[in-house]
Amino acid sequence: MLVVELIEKKKLGRELTDAEIDYLVANFALGAIPDYQMAALLMATYFKGVNDREGRRFLHAMIHSGEQLSYPNIPARKVDKHSTGGVGDKTSLIIAPVVAEAGIPVPMISGRALGHTGGTLDKLESIPGLSVRLTHRELESILKKYNCVFGAQTDSLVPADRKLYALRDVTSTVEIPPLIAASILSKKIAEGTDALAMDVKIGSGGFLPDEDSARELALRLVEWSRAYNVETIAFGTDMNEPLGNTAGNGPEIEECLRILQTGSGEPRLLEISTLLGATMLQLGGVSKSQHEAREKFTDILKSGKAYTRFQRIAEAQGAIPESWKMFESGVPASFEREIKSSKDGFIGEILPRDIGYALVDLGAGRRVASDPVDPSAGVRFFKKRGDRVASGEPLALAQWSSESANSPAALARIETAFVITESQPVPRPLVYFRTDANGASAYKS
């Protein structure tokens, strides 16, 4: 096959056959197709679309581009959680150790920053010494001992997705819903999970702008995963503002550790963490109802036991024990700047996409795939949507350490991300819908 012909075919809006998709994915994973040709194909796909059959075949090909993990020595039902990505979305780091403490194995293979959104792996790597590049034997050993492991895709585990993920990030072709689904599920199916709780983000801070497109993706995730015997429950949650009190790799780890220590934190972040964590407890069979599961999740979180478990997991993955002191005292940065309100009023919006791109300018994300990441770069929010503010009052603190950061552009983006209004904004729902094998329904708290 000639790749240029397949690019032309998709450019004209025609369907790719199963054999053509298999050829593209397998040969791109092997390095036989150069990035520039796959980038052209992705751009054509972005504008012309991918239908359900093509999307399912991309998923199949990506799973089979490498090995598939299994854990015969861990018979318990393995449950994972994943998000479609957002700004300040750090729930995995809170949920996983709590669910593991409840006795459910969590084999978490995660991704890196994508576009303006953060990545769980980049956050974890802000802990000095911690490695997410683990062999199958290491993954299984840590999972068996601690009920949780945080891993990255390797050269042998869904290598096609790892390469496509990085290329989509730097070519502005992330927002292709079937490929979002294929990327998520290829990692989760290949990692050997039996059930999955999904957080589908809705709004400008994610990749799905409205509830309809989020419902479509959620239904696709549930249906596609069922074909691989993975039970999935998906929720549509708000991403029209950053989640939590921080955004950026090291600062978000710091916030998560504090929540794991105290059981308290920013209400929106705690609610989504509890909702998804409780769903995992139900999927894992340790709780019979959502009410019982929420109580169990909250009890474990408040006990501090999940904090200790997280430390043990991290140290098993190479984290330096002394690093916890750094997070307790606040992630240090070489530079910082307060963002202040330009007038009296209310915080009408905090535009998450602007915050996300500001983080890239500060060095917390990547402009090109090979860029290093500054673990100290981030934003700390002093005010939330709906808060009253006075002119000159601090709204947020930006911090960074890289001298190559485009800090003027970042600071300007952060300042304009805070929209000051004369009247208090109307509250938005935090959770819009729930989707399972029976379909999607409006969420009732």
C-alpha–C-alpha distance, residues 269 and 303, integer Å: 18
Nearest to 438 by CA among 275, 161, 219: 219
C-alpha–C-alpha distance, residues 17 and 8, integer Å: 14
* 13's tokens: 């809006």
Select which of 60, 90, 168, 201 is catalytic: 168
Identify whether 82 is a catalytic site residue: yes
Identify whether 161 is a catalytic site residue: yes
Contact 12, 47 (CB under 8 A): no
C-alpha–C-alpha distance, residues 134 and 43, integer Å: 32
Number of H-type helices and E-type strands within the chain? 17, 14
Select which of 187, 201, 215, 413 is catalytic: 187
* 259's tokens: 């929540």
Q: What is the 3-state secondary structure (H, E, C) of 259-304?
A: HHHHCCCCHHHHHHHHHHHHHHHHHCCCCCCHHHHHHHHHHHHHHC
* 1's tokens: 């096959």
Select which of 82, 116, 201, 353 is catalytic: 82
Residue with tokens 């000159």: 392
Spatial neighbors of 113 by CB under 8 A, at least 6 apart, are: 119, 122, 169, 364, 365, 366, 373
Nearest to 89 by CA among 350, 363, 272, 309: 272
Rounded to 5 degrees, φ, ψ at 183 are -65, -50
C-alpha–C-alpha distance, residues 408 and 232, integer Å: 43
CA distances from 226 to 75, 107, 305 (A): 20, 18, 33
Identify whether 384 is a catalytic site residue: no
Select which of 65, 92, 110, 183 is catalytic: 183
Identify whether 64 is a catalytic site residue: no
Q: What is the DSSP letter of 171?
A: T
Torsion angle of alpha carbons 362, 363, 364, 369, nearest 10°? 140
Any idea which residues carry the catalytic annotation? 82, 161, 168, 183, 187
